[in-house]
Amino acid sequence: MTSQTKPIKKVVLAYSGGLDTSIILKWLQQTYGAEVVTFTADLGQGEELEPARAKALMLGIKPENIYIEDLREEFVRDYVFPMFRANALYEGIYLLGTSIARPLISKRQIEIARATGADAVCHGATGKGNDQVRFELSYYALEPSIRIIAPWRDWSFKSREDLIAFAEQNQIPIAKDKRGEAPFSVDANLLHSSSEGKVLEDPNVEPPQYVFQRTVSPEEAPDKPTVITIGFKQGDAVSINGTPMSPATILATLNDYGRENGIGRVDLVENRFVGMKSRGIYETPGGTILWHAHRAIESITLDRGAMHLKDELMPRYAELVYYGFWFSPEREMLQAAIDKSQEHVEGVVTLKLYKGNVIVTGRESPKSLYSSTLVTFEDDKGAYDQKDAAGFIKLNALRLRTLGQRDRQG
């Protein structure tokens, strides 16, 4: 859309403060002669952010070009919760913990680019994964003429050794354990942590226990169940054990419950948008609890027509989120449909957490559509006339009978 030949003047880098993005930072300065703006966000990954500031300063970033933000509430409220309203599961299993974080990071990078007059953005995702797609589709959707730098696709480094050498040449501090290659790669935020690569590459080999970061194993979990309740309002969790909490606090609290009880581990071979299969280990303790609780509260407050339509739309919704089309008209259309259904999804779900199991033991709601009067085997006082079933079946069968007669003649 715009010529790609103009020099880049200022670039907003998604900066973690770690070795890899520090190398990118230096490489950007050297390759483009561009001013670098660093953006470091707390999405609940569990790392301190201030060291990133110190490191950025050390690498020559101007103080006014360092953005450090706590986005945890926005992340859960505007991204995680809307997605959970859809009961989204990618390929039947994956709760999309990495996918859902990318649009928010992208959005803030674009906003910072506007605020600082930057003409480019940069991310640290590799050229084989989905994240590059998620970042870049979001960037482009929000700012069609933005320049995008994806160093892992562009630079000439060929190996870990090349990167370390570059770091050393440029006085980038290298933690001891970062010299060699990590045995697997990790992504984390308040919703989940994922691990993939290297020691996990053979899908027929069980992941070693040291891969797991956020949950005890079911075997190590307590021998006694933990019982909790989650309150919902308009499809979103609003309280735990009767205590109202903010979205991020809800998820953090559920993470604690899940971690202790060995909940939310998934070992999956999934299909990437870029075309290959990959094996991932995900830990989504709080999200797993939330998914079950949300379905349970829907089970008594959502009409059948709404629920079945949601179930049919869900795989598409999950695919869109996974592929990186959060900021697309079709995701927004599906969200509008889903949100429309959640108006009366409220009430309280009781759950028993036990060694990897999330067991729904109760659900109640002032908006319940469950009627024991209708369903009872006992006298229902005329609420339902069993004779109606005969006509219902007869007309549902009519086309099948016509068909049966035809096929018989065939």
Question: Which residues sit in the known binding site?
Answer: 14-22, 41, 94, 99, 124, 126, 130-131, 134, 185, 194, 270, 282
User: Which positions are catalytic?
Assistant: 20, 102, 131, 185
Is 399 a residue that touches a second copy (CB under 8 A)? yes
Phi, psi of 391 (to 5 degrees): -65, -40
- Determine which residue in the list 91, 161, 168, 256 makes contact with a second copy, applying CB under 8 A: 91
Task: For the CB of residue 230, give the shortest distance to a second copy in the complex, in Å.
Answer: 14
Measured from the CB atom, the residue of 167 and 263 that comes closer to a second copy is 263
Task: For the CB of residue 66, give the shortest distance to a second copy in the complex, in Å.
Answer: 28
Is 176 a residue that touches a second copy (CB under 8 A)? no
Site for a second copy in 235-254 (CB under 8 A): none
> Burial, 21: exposed, middle or buried (Cβ in 10 Å; 0-12, 13-18, 19+)?
buried
Task: Note whether 293 and 360 are within 8 A (CB).
Answer: yes
Is 87 a residue that touches a second copy (CB under 8 A)? yes
Who contacts 352 (Cβ-Cβ below 8 Å, separation ≥6)? 225, 226, 227, 358, 359, 361
Tokens 């390929």, located at residue: 91
Task: For the CB of residue 246, give the shortest distance to a second copy in the complex, in Å.
Answer: 25
Is 115 a residue that touches a second copy (CB under 8 A)? no
Applying CB under 8 A, the span of 23-31, 100-108, 150-158, 163-171 interacting with a second copy comes to: 150-158
- Determine which residue in the list 50, 114, 198, 244 makes contact with a second copy, applying CB under 8 A: 198
Distance of CA 392 to the CA centre of its chain: 43
Task: Note whether 196 and 244 are within 8 A (CB).
Answer: no
> Burial, 55: exposed, middle or buried (Cβ in 10 Å; 0-12, 13-18, 19+)?
buried
Applying CB under 8 A, the span of 19-27, 47-55, 96-104, 266-274 interacting with a second copy comes to: 266-274
3-class secondary structure, 227: strand
Is 271 a residue that touches a second copy (CB under 8 A)? yes
Measured from the CB atom, the residue of 69 and 155 that comes closer to a second copy is 155
Is 132 a residue that touches a second copy (CB under 8 A)? yes
Tokens 């959060």, located at residue: 326
Is 162 a residue that touches a second copy (CB under 8 A)? no
Q: What is the rounded distance in angstroms from the CA atom of residue 162 to the CA atom of residue 164?
A: 6
Is 58 a residue that touches a second copy (CB under 8 A)? no
Rounded to a whole number of angstroms, the distance between the first and last alpha carbons of the chain is 61
**How far, in Å, are 292, 361, 362 from residue 243 at the CA level?**
19, 19, 18
Measured from the CB atom, the residue of 77 and 295 that comes closer to a second copy is 295
Pairing of strands 120-122, 10-14: parallel
Task: For the CB of residue 72, give the shortest distance to a second copy in the complex, in Å.
Answer: 27
Would you mind telling me the total number of residues written for the chain in this entry?
A: 410
Is 281 a residue that touches a second copy (CB under 8 A)? no
- Determine which residue in the list 29, 116, 126, 226 makes contact with a second copy, applying CB under 8 A: 126
Q: Provide the β-strand partners of residue 149.
A: 122
Is 195 a residue that touches a second copy (CB under 8 A)? no
